[in-house]
Amino acid sequence: MITLRAPAKLTWYLEVTGRRDDGRHELRSEMCTIDFADELTLEEDADYLRLEGSPTGVADDHTNLVVRALRLVGRRAGVTLRKVIPARGGLGGGSADAAAILRWAGGVPAEVALQLGGDVPFCQVGGTALVEGVGERVTPQPFVARELTLVLTGLEVDTGSCYRAYDQLRREGSPLGGRNELAAAARLVEPRLGAVMDWLAASVGQEPVLAGSGSTLFFEGHVGDEATWRVQGPYGPLQFRHAMTTPA
């Protein structure tokens, strides 16, 4: 048995720089891996996928990115995947899982990793990096240890819907600036997320930052004294979790 860690990715900032003829959006962002990770246990020469932990919304069939990554590198293994990274939470959980398989298999070029999703090339490298294009240009940056506090909202924001909402807001001339230019779009797709963001800003005294296309939020620094805790938010419990950035 082999055990692999699949660290979540955090998008420190995100700019949408253009849109390609095929409809894909080009980005410029700084991404970093954090000490919040799924775990994969591999049994070589087997063929299964078992989900453990909190796999809500995670496929357990051939569409799962772990299965697709194994096929991409031509390897066979039984995988027990213990999920802690929420699905559709903006932390690249599926991409992180796929990247763990790619690293185990010796790695692939960024253009190949991109076949599995825009976050996979970065997740394969990890650490801190400038990510551009549709995710295929990954430029490693010096590691900076940063403290942060994640807020797991329990909500889901579909990435495709978020980008369509971004395009809609752009056509309407709505302001789309800020540290994460997808924030207004994510609030449009999931209005409860906007209410949670406003509630957190008033409760904590600083504006939360949207992670990727949502729905996880984060604050710079460690908010509160405990490592993890829950509070009742406007639409259900919110889980707070201290985290740190990690090197490649």
What stretch of H or E contains 231? strand 228-233
Mean pLDDT of the chain: 94
Asked if 159 and 213 touch (Cβ cutoff 8 Å), the reply is: yes
133 lies in the same domain as 31:
yes
Beta strands, E only, 66-216: 77-83, 128-133, 137-140, 147-152, 209-210
pLDDT(130) > 90: yes
| Per-residue pLDDT tens over the stretch 95-111 | 999 999 999 999 999 99
Q: What is the pLDDT of residues 147-191, one digit of tens each?
A: 999 999 999 899 999 999 999 999 999 888 889 999 999 999 999
Give the count of domains, the chain: 2
DSSP state, residue 110: H
Is 11 within 8 Å of 29 (Cβ atoms)?
Answer: yes
Range of the domain at 189: 147-246
Q: Rounded to two decimals, what is the model's pTM?
A: 0.92
Which pLDDT value is given to residue 177?
80
Instruction: Please say if the pLDDT value at position 55 is more than 80.
Output: no
Question: Per-residue confidence at 224, pLDDT binned at 50, 70, 90?
Answer: confident
Tokens of 104: 């185990």
**Over the stretch 189-222, which tens digit does the pLDDT of each residue have?**
999 999 999 999 999 999 999 999 889 999 999 9
**201 shares a domain with 156:** yes
Q: What angle do helix axes 65-73 and 93-104 make, rounded to 10 degrees?
A: 30
Q: What is the pLDDT of residue 217?
A: 97
Tokens representing 88 are: 């559709």
Residue 23's pLDDT band, with cuts at 50, 70 and 90, is confident
Which pLDDT does position 216 carry in this prediction?
A: 96
Are 172 and 84 members of one domain? no
Give CA 32 to chain center in angstroms.
10
Which among 90, 20, 93, 17 has a CA at the least distance from the CA of 53? 93
> Which one, of 9, 192, 196, 203, lies nearest residue 92 by Cα?
9
Q: Is the pLDDT of residue 87 over 90?
A: no
pLDDT at 214 (0 to 100): 82
Cross-strand pairs, 233: 236
Q: What percent of the chain has pLDDT over 90?
A: 85
Residues 10, 131, single domain; the answer is: yes
Which residues are known to be catalytic? Answer: 9, 119
Task: Give which of 185, 189, 192, 184 is closest to 233, Cα–Cα.
Answer: 192
- Residue at which a domain ends, from 121, 140, 159: 140
CATH code of the domain in which 213 resides: 3.30.70.890
Strands annotated E in 68-127: 77-83
- Extract the tokens encoding 108: 């692939």
Contact between 214 and 89 (Cβ < 8 Å): yes
* Residue 9: how many other CB atoms lie within 10 Å: 29
Residue 60: which pLDDT band, with cuts at 50, 70 and 90? confident
94 in the same domain as 60: yes
Q: Are residues 114 and 7 in the same domain?
A: yes
Which residues lie closer than 8 Å to 27 by C-beta, 6 or more apart? Answer: 14, 15, 16, 17, 118, 131, 132, 133, 134, 135
C-alpha span between 215 and 206 (Å, rounded): 18
Q: Is the pLDDT of residue 12 over 90?
A: yes
Domain end, chosen from 140, 171, 204, is at 140
